[in-house]
Every structure is written in structure tokens, then in C-alpha cells.
Amino acid sequence: MERENTVERVQQGVARCIENGTTKTGRWFGREEKKAEDLPKDFKKYYIKMINNELSKVERAKLLGVGRATLYRWIKLYEGQ
């Protein structure tokens, strides 16, 4: 029963924050979305090499020190700007 009360109060607090557009701390919920400006400086250089078929995506991910899934997300973000 106490768990139900806690869940209800949390849901009311979230609804109140959505209604007001702010939270107590001033930050919104969750992580901030990455922007193309947040990508590493070398990303553009390696992106151009990838487009010119000088580097594979796997090699590029190793150079940037990230996994392939992260690299694919970054490419999608960079191309969507």
C-alpha cells in the first residue's frame, strides 16, 4: 500500500513539472540530447575519409575509441544536422 502511495505522489510531481515546464532543480528529466557540436573534433576529418572510401567504419570507430553502434549514432546525428 505504501508503494502505491509513493508511485502516486511521484506521478503527481511529474505531472506538475510537465504542467509548469520546470522542475525543482531547473533541469528536465533524462539525459540531454547530443548535438553535432558535441561530437569529437576529429569526427569530421574521419567522416570525410570514410565518404571517400579511405577508411572503413570499423577502422574509424577504433580511431575515435568508440564502438560501432556509437559511431553509427554519431553519423546519423552528423548527417541530420
Average pLDDT over residues 23-50: 81
* DSSP per position, the chain: -HHHHHHHHHHHHHHHHHHHT--SSSPPSSPPPP-GGGS-TTHHHHHHHHHTTSS-HHHHHHHHT--HHHHHHHHHHHHT-
pTM exceeding 0.85 = no
Which pLDDT value is given to residue 37?
A: 85
Which pLDDT value is given to residue 68?
A: 92
| Alpha carbon 13 to its chain's center | 25
Which pLDDT value is given to residue 66?
A: 92
Q: Which three cell numbers stand for residue 68?
A: 560501432
Which pLDDT value is given to residue 27?
A: 67
With a cut of 90, say whether residue 29 has pLDDT above it. no
| Alpha carbon 28 to its chain's center | 14
- Of the pLDDT bands very low, low, confident and very high (cuts 50, 70, 90), residue 26 is low
